[in-house]
Amino acid sequence: MDSIVVKGGAELRGEIPIAGAKNACLTLMPATLLTEEPLTLMNAPRLSDIKTMTTLLRSLGAEVSDLQGGRVIAMSSAGPVNTHADYDIVRKMRASNLVLGPLLAREGHAVVSLPGGCAIGARPMDIHISALELMGAEIELKDGYLHARTNGGLKGAKVPLRFASVGATENVMMAATLAKGTTVIENAAREPEIVDLAACLSKMGAQISGAGTSKIEIQGVDRLGGATHPVVTDRIELGTYMLAPAICGGEVECLGGKISLVEAFCERLDAAGISVEETPRGLKVARKNGRVTAVDVATAPFPGFPTDLQAQMMALLCTADGVSHLEETIFENRFMHAPELMRMGAEIDVHGGMATVRGVDQMRGARVMATDLRASVSLILAGLAAEGETVVSRVYHLDRGYEHVEEKLGAVGAQIERVAE
């Protein structure tokens, strides 16, 4: 099992290219099940989660090819579609549940295992189920599988979501493209990945309006065609690498970044004393002067502060001047990185969904363990600022969401390497 070894103390200078969004690509890939014509995705990230989705789609009868070193994914579901999504594949990744809507829309029935992924909270499927039931699906849970079917196909409906769930919004959007009539999603998620999905589906012939707002309207069509679509920039990878020079000094330009993708995050960085400048090529990031200032952070659905950047932000605030408070409002178990940061000398108190961080003058390198995807990279960031050597184990989590971290950080001056243990 691989580990990442980081030696702290080096300032970072240079450029880091930001990949296409993992969460967008994992949503766009199941859209191939909606059409018999080819769907090609450009700017795809090279991640283990993408490989898992590829395996799942192939098991459902889709043809999936990686081109240009994995940067292009060419798909086709022209042949017979298998409607059984097996546990052995689905358990590896939460986003596997996004085949449910497309399968119901195309075939009228599906058997999909309950999904897995990082152990950071319940992330219940009931929002997906109740939304699809409003569209005429009959769904029963048996032996860990969702057995879903329709009587004569899905029908357009008013779908109010009790929570602005990204996954449920995406599942309903895809299902609604081939439903009879008009579907209106109320309290819809507003993330850039939702806008990207709507753009791709529209290229395929879907009729969608309101993406990026809390009310999305989809007029069902008889069939969808093929399309070629570039995956939107990964705002979480963007935010993560923006924190690298913030935490250990220097100046880094994140290529492909836009403030509109991370506006709430940039506001907190500004309050902490971090300069973010939009350039023709991306975002240039550096400390304004001296030590970072403590700030309070509360996660929220987009356009609020992303929960997927909370762990990384905590790493920054561990060495800030003063006391910071981080409130996690999305997932109930998302402070598992705190004890590992404390092994490096951080002073953190966690009570329920609130973490209090008292900044220290210097973190110290230590052996730490990654507990989930975002926690793993937060420990690497902390290692960049720590005195001595930090060894982050169980980095298989990292490979689910970040491609070639050691290469990207190493190219701007970080002392970092991957080792086999």
Name the pTM for this structure: 0.92
Tell whether 134 and 6 lie within a shared domain.
Answer: no
Residue 116's pLDDT is what?
55
Q: Does the annotation place 361 within a ligand binding site? A: no
Q: For the chain, give me the number of helices (H) and strands (E)?
A: 13, 24
Cα–Cα nearest to 409, from 2, 6, 3: 6
Residue 119's pLDDT is what?
39
Cα–Cα nearest to 102, from 142, 70, 56, 64: 56
* Residues whose CB is less than 8 angstroms from the CB of residue 29 and which lie 6 or more positions away in sequence, other chains included: 41, 50, 53, 54, 57, 64, 73, 75
The answer to whether 345 and 338 are in contact (CB under 8 A) is no
Tell whether 278 and 383 lie within a shared domain.
Answer: yes
**pLDDT tens digit string along 235-279?**
999 999 999 999 999 999 999 999 999 999 999 999 999 999 999
Structure tokens at 65: 């090819």
Helices (H), 38-165: 48-59, 87-90, 100-107, 126-134
Tell whether 221 and 245 lie within a shared domain.
Answer: no
Q: Does the annotation place 94 within a ligand binding site? A: yes
Of the candidates 118, 248, 266, 318, the residue annotated as catalytic is: 118
- Across the beta sheet with 12-17, what order do the strands follow? 12-17, 250-255, 282-287, 274-278
Cα–Cα nearest to 385, from 348, 337, 345: 345
Tell whether 52 and 175 lie within a shared domain.
Answer: yes
Tell whether 216 and 262 lie within a shared domain.
Answer: no
Residue that finishes a domain, picked among 179, 202, 230: 230
The answer to whether 112 and 99 are in contact (CB under 8 A) is yes
Domain count across the chain: 2
Residue 371's pLDDT is what?
87
What one-character DSSP code corresponds to residue 322? S
Tell whether 174 and 271 lie within a shared domain.
Answer: no
Tell whether 224 and 260 lie within a shared domain.
Answer: no
Residue 239's pLDDT is what?
98
pLDDT tens for the chain, residues 1 to 421: 899 999 999 999 999 999 999 999 999 999 999 999 999 999 999 998 999 999 999 999 999 999 999 999 999 999 999 999 999 998 888 789 999 999 999 999 999 998 754 333 444 688 999 999 999 999 998 888 999 999 999 999 999 999 899 999 999 999 999 999 999 999 999 999 999 999 999 999 999 999 999 999 999 999 999 999 999 999 999 999 999 999 999 999 999 999 999 999 999 999 999 999 999 999 999 999 889 999 999 999 999 999 999 999 999 999 999 999 999 998 777 899 999 999 999 999 999 999 999 999 999 999 999 988 888 999 999 999 999 999 999 998 898 889 999 999 999 999 999 998 7
DSSP string across 165-194 = -HHHHHHHHHHHHTSBSEEEEES----HHH
Structure tokens at 77: 């579901």
Tell whether 405 and 325 lie within a shared domain.
Answer: yes
Q: What angle do CA 165, 169, 170 make, to 5 degrees?
A: 120
Four-residue CA torsion sign, 194, 195, 196, 197: positive
Task: Tell me if residue 25 is catalytic.
Answer: no
Residue 123's pLDDT is what?
47
C-alpha 277 chain-centroid distance:
24
Q: Does the annotation place 222 within a ligand binding site? A: no
Residue 122's pLDDT is what?
44
Instruction: Produce one character per residue of 343-366: b if its CB has 16 or more CB atoms within 10 Å, e if not.
Output: bbbbebebeebebebebeeebbbb
Tell whether 220 and 250 lie within a shared domain.
Answer: no
Tell whether 8 and 73 lie within a shared domain.
Answer: no
Q: Which domain holds residue 347?
A: 2-17+233-420
Residue 124's pLDDT is what?
64
Residue that finishes a domain, picked among 183, 214, 230: 230
Q: Does the annotation place 23 within a ligand binding site? A: yes
Coil/strand/helix, residue 221: coil
Place of tokens 């923006």: 242
Helices (H), 108-150: 126-134
Q: Does the annotation place 187 within a ligand binding site? A: no
Tell whether 201 and 277 lie within a shared domain.
Answer: no
Query: From CA 4, how far away is CA 342, in angstroms rounded?
Result: 18
The answer to whether 357 and 317 are in contact (CB under 8 A) is yes
Structure tokens at 354: 């609130």
The answer to whether 174 and 31 are in contact (CB under 8 A) is yes
Tell whether 365 and 389 lie within a shared domain.
Answer: yes
The answer to whether 108 and 82 are in contact (CB under 8 A) is no
The answer to whether 387 and 8 are in contact (CB under 8 A) is yes
Residue 120's pLDDT is what?
33
CATH assignment at residue 130: 3.65.10.10
Residue 276's pLDDT is what?
98
Residue that finishes a domain, picked among 230, 257, 286: 230
CB-count burial class (<10 Å; 0-12, 13-18, 19+) for 207: middle
